[in-house]
Amino acid sequence: MGLAAAIIHNPEVLILDEPTTGLDPNQIIEIRQLIQELGQDKTVLFSSHILPEVEAICSRVIIIHKGNLMANQPIAELNQKESLESVFRSLTGPIRV
């Protein structure tokens, strides 16, 4: 419902925060396709901590850590040699307990 409300006015920029959370697998696939289609004509900012979801949807990745821009490049360039998860961890540091 929130996504429908966001796109009904045909905005040039969409800001989506975890838009697939709580959906079943079929709905996730449909929403991914919709986001990719919308991204052909609009700027879509997709925020998620679920990195496989980012890889499935996004063409460009921006990683921000503690207010600092750590990466801003096409996903294909960012994870050429290692997974997005590995890149993220190398840029943001290990988890400390």
- Looking at residue 23, its amino acid is L
Q: Which residues contact 16 (CB under 8 A, 6 or more apart)?
A: 3, 6, 35, 44, 45, 46, 47
Q: Can you give the pTM of this predicted structure? A: 0.78
* Residue 22 half-sphere exposure toward CB, CA atoms < 13 A: 5
Per-residue model confidence (pLDDT) at position 25: 94
Going from N- to C-terminal start, the domains of the chain cover 1-49, 59-97
pLDDT tens for each residue of the chain, 97 residues long: 778 888 888 899 999 999 988 899 999 999 999 999 999 999 999 999 899 999 999 999 999 999 999 999 999 898 787 889 999 999 998 766 6
Tell me how far apart the alpha carbons of residues 40 and 76 are, in angstroms, rounded to a whole number. 17
